[in-house]
Amino acid sequence: MQHIVIIGNGISGITAARHIRKLSDNKITVISGETDHFFSRTALMYVYMGHMKFEHTKPYEDDFWAKNRIELKRAWVTNIDFENKKLNLTGDETLNYDKLILALGSKPNKFGWKGQDLKGVQVIKT
Ligand SMILES: Cc1cc2nc3c(=O)[nH]c(=O)nc-3n(C[C@H](O)[C@H](O)[C@H](O)COP(=O)(O)OP(=O)(O)OC[C@H]3O[C@@H](n4cnc5c(N)ncnc54)[C@H](O)[C@@H]3O)c2cc1C
């Protein structure tokens, strides 16, 4: 049995985890520093506008992960030792993997456009 580690619990990481589980019995660990559980990032604007609560943005019940044997780890990965297949996590923890999937997302960019730093102009990511 292989240990598949996925960094990132966004739509990419979780879709990968679900499909790997359907296809195999491998051990799966999903790591994210942001939240315990996957949430719909696209719904954040509705939370921001007050139309939804954050808890309504979770597509799966909290017991989904245990039922599907997808282990969740809340931590930031600070270093990847590709040669020894080892991750360093915040809190001085380490984790070994056989296969690693990077589903790290991205962050909003600024391009030096006129007005981008005016009061009230902002990005939404987390
Ligand atoms: C407000 C808003 C509205 C949007 N609306 C739409 C829309 O209508 N339609 C559409 O198609 N797209 C939309 N998007 C874009 C869409 O949400 C993203 O394309 C999508 O979430 C990307 O998914 P991902 O899994 O690749 O990355 P993310 O969702 O960014 O997930 C990556 C995860 O990896 C974690 N991570 C990164 N580095 C580390 C590390 N070193 N250690 C541990 N964890 C780490 C991050 O914390 C994050 O949780 C919207 C985005 C926002 C913010």
Per residue in 88-119, pLDDT (tens digit) is: 999 999 999 999 999 999 988 889 999 999 99
d(CA 2, CA 99): 7
- Taking the C-alpha atoms of residue 82 and residue 45, their distance in angstroms, rounded to an integer, is 37
How many angstroms is it from 88 CA to the middle of ligand 1?
22
106 alpha carbon – ligand 1 mean position (Å): 7
Residue 121: which residues within 8 A CB-CB, separation 6 or more? 115
Residue nearest to atom 15 of ligand 1 (CA): 42
Domains of the chain: 3-102 (3.50.50.60)
Q: Which candidate, 97, 75, 76, 77, places its Cα nearest to that of 86?
A: 97
Atom of ligand 1 nearest to the CA of 15: 25
15-70 tens-digit pLDDT:
999 999 999 999 999 999 999 999 999 999 999 999 999 999 999 999 999 999 99
Provide the pLDDT for residue 126: 85
Q: CA 84, 29, 86 angle in degrees (round to 5)?
A: 10
Pocket test for ligand 1, best of 104, 107, 124 (most atoms within 8 A of CB): 104
